[in-house]
Amino acid sequence: MKDKKRNSSEPETDLKEEQSENSGDTVEISIESGALASKQSDLTEENDRLRDQALRARAEFENFRRRRNRELEEYRALANESLIEDLLPVLDDLGLLLNSGEDKNDISSLMDGARLIQQKFLNLLKLRGLEEIEAEGQQFDPEVHEALMETPSEDAEPGTIVSVHQKGYKLGPKLIRPSRVIIVAAKSEEEN
């Protein structure tokens, strides 16, 4: 009977040991859940901080974009103003030419005045970087010339520009308008 009592007390000890072990688990779980809550709080703060940084960066970029657009508009207005100021004397000269043409019937002096105004205008454009594309007598270059037609010629090589219908221009390296030209046709086999 004593053995039975002893055996019955053993489960009590085991039960107490299990309870004490379980209370350790509870402490561990409490510590772990506290650590997780702290980690979650840290991550939430980090997330909020990064979201705030992203919003600030977006706002700064929008401000930069608006400022850049405003500066471009101001630059365009200034460039237009400067060009218009430079063109006003040419406009004045055209007005003088037209007024003097009403007083005189001398076509020669009108033509001289028109040539002077044209030269003044071209000089103004050259100061701004415009350059005329050389064409007549040159070899045809499809990068800067546009062939309107071909014509036979005994005096020039095929592909040589013999006439310029409309002058071409470049602004720095950029082609503004190609020269529209007439070129010498390639000789046919019958002519060879």
Dist CA 110 CA 114 (whole Å): 6
Same-domain status, 134 and 124: no
CATH number at residue 154: 2.30.22.10
DSSP 178: P
Could you tell me if 190 and 110 lie in one domain?
no
* Under 8 Å between Cβ of 113 and 120: no
> Is pLDDT larger for residue 189 or for residue 172?
172
Residue found by looking up tokens 């101001």 in the block: 74
pLDDT tens across 68-89, in order? Answer: 999 999 988 888 888 888 888 8
79, 94, 128 — which closes off a domain?
128
Of 128, 143, 173, the position where a domain reaches its end is: 128
157/88 same-domain check: no
Q: What is the pLDDT of residues 35-68, one digit of tens each?
A: 888 888 999 999 999 999 999 999 999 999 999 9
Strand, helix or coil for residue 145: strand
- The domain of 156 spans 130-192
For 105-114, write each residue's pLDDT tens digit. Answer: 778 888 888 8
Q: 178 with 96, same domain?
A: no
pLDDT: is 91 or 188 the higher one?
91
Residue 15 is predicted with a pLDDT of: 46
What does the block give as tokens for 133?
């594309």
67 & 142 share domain: no
Whether residue 119 sits in one domain with residue 31? yes
Domain endpoint, select from 128, 156, 178: 128
State whether residue 88 is helix, strand or coil. Answer: helix
